């Protein structure tokens, strides 16, 4: 193959366009062409964040994770809807079933709205177009497809195909297309990591691709440092793994409509969240190995605390250790959000061929 795929084997990354908003438009066609924002219970007066926004709303700067009240100010005439997770899951299931029906495809689901496909073909663009047509025919949802010779390149390629398009990224054109992009444009490099890279003088993908491995290891550790350099090159696994996804942990969080500050009220809220989390953990029948606490102080400063604990299935022990994290909350400081997470032992924590991921919020 002239473009780097071995034996005609390619990775496709299928990403549904404005998925949640698109599902809402299908349910109510009069929303088509309007700025649609989905988040919380659909009430911007409450504390909630945007889950997704239609392209029409995004033109005003609305994005996922933005406080709903701010999004409402940016687009006063927006249609704001509550999150309906069952509806989105049902639509996602139909999409994933369609992908699995494609000839010779191996499908690795990444979330409600995206998946990798491993396919063998001499014309990956034609295959991608057939996938788009099949998804549209069955679900009336549009998707974009990134084509790559690795998982990383396929994932990043999708950004150039949106909306409703197809784009190919391989070893041959990676630096030509991605080289001058900021490191934050890479899958797996967020704003915090990009800022730390900038302190090393690394601000672009091209610079990361040739960065000093020793300097990266010194900043990020012997595992993550080299991995970030690998991301800069677009290298890595080309194996699409259809092994059923297993949750690494469970988490719950709540946003208080009125800030809380009383220590007993905080502990009570933490215990309620932990009860919900541990009920889900019990359903997986795996022991807890770590805990996390997320605290958002008013007005909007977020802190996270984590700790490993001896492997245990004893609920009382987990609660005791979780309350040790709760004790780290600054006394007297108003809290607007609280979250708790329990990490579980994995049945196989080091499967080969997986792209490295990090768990947590």
Dmax of the chain from CA atoms? 66
- The residue behind tokens 């034996």 is 7
CA distance 315 to 342: 11
CA nearest to 205, candidates 233, 238, 242: 233
Residues 359/346, Cβ–Cβ less than 8 Å? no
| Strand stretches in 186-279, DSSP E | 249-260
**Burial tier of 242 (Cβ tally within 10 Å: 0-12, 13-18, 19+):** middle
Catalytic site residue from 24, 56, 94, 114: 114
Task: Name, in order, each residue with C-beta under 8 angstroms of 340's C-beta and a sequence gap of 6 or more.
Answer: 251, 252, 253, 270, 273, 274, 277, 291, 292, 293, 294, 322
User: Which tokens sit at 265?
Assistant: 């009220």
User: Which tokens sit at 118?
Assistant: 């491993």
- The residue behind tokens 């299931």 is 93
Task: Name, in order, each residue with C-beta under 8 angstroms of 283's C-beta and a sequence gap of 6 or more.
Answer: none
Strand order from edge to edge, sheet including 301-312: 249-260, 335-344, 288-297, 301-312
- Parallel/antiparallel/unpaired status of strands 79-81 and 36-38: parallel
CA distance 158 to 145: 5
Residues 210/125, Cβ–Cβ less than 8 Å? no
CA nearest to 36, candidates 20, 15, 48, 49: 20
Active site residue 114: yes
**DSSP classification of residue 30:** G
User: Which tokens sit at 282?
Assistant: 């019990």
Residues 128/22, Cβ–Cβ less than 8 Å? no
Active site residues per annotation: 114
């Amino acid at each position: 193959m002239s473009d780097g795929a071995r034996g005609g084997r390619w990775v496709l990354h299928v990403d549904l366009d404005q998925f949640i908003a698109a599902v809402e438009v299908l349910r109510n066609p009069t929303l088509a062409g309007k700025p649609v924002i989905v988040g919380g219970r659909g009430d911007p007066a409450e504390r909630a964040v945007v889950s997704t926004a239609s392209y029409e709303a995004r033109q005003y700067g609305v994005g996922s994770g933005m406080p709903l009240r701010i999004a409402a100010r940016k687009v006063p005439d927006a249609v704001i809807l509550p999150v309906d997770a069952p509806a989105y899951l049902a639509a996602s299931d139909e999409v994933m079933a369609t992908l699995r029906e494609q000839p010779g495809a191996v499908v690795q689901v990444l979330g409600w709205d995206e998946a990798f496909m491993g396919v063998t073909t001499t014309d990956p663009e034609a295959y991608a177009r057939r996938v788009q047509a099949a998804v549209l025919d069955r679900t009336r949802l549009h998707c974009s497809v990134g084509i790559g010779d690795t998982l990383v390149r396929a994932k990043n390629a999708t950004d150039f195909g949106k909306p409703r398009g197809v784009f190919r990224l391989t070893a041959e054109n990676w630096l030509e297309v991605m080289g001058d992009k900021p490191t934050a444009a890479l899958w797996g490099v967020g704003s915090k990591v990009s800022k730390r890279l900038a302190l090393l003088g690394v601000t672009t993908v091209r610079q990361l691709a040739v960065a000093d491995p020793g300097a990266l290891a010194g900043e990020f550790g012997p595992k993550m440092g080299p991995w970030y350099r690998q991301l800069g090159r677009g290298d890595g696994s080309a194996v699409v793994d259809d092994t059923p996804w297993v949750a690494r942990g469970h988490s719950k969080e709540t946003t208080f409509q009125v800030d809380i500050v009383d220590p007993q009220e905080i502990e009570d809220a933490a215990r309620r969240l932990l009860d919900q989390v541990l009920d889900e953990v019990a359903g997986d029948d795996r022991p807890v190995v770590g805990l996390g606490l997320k605290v958002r102080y008013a007005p909007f400063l977020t802190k996270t605390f984590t700790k490993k604990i001896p492997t245990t299935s004893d609920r009382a022990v987990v609660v005791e250790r979780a309350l040790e994290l709760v004790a780290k909350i600054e006394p007297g400081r108003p809290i607007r959000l609280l979250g708790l997470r329990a990490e579980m032992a994995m049945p196989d924590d080091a499967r080969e061929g997986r792209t490295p991921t990090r768990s947590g919020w």
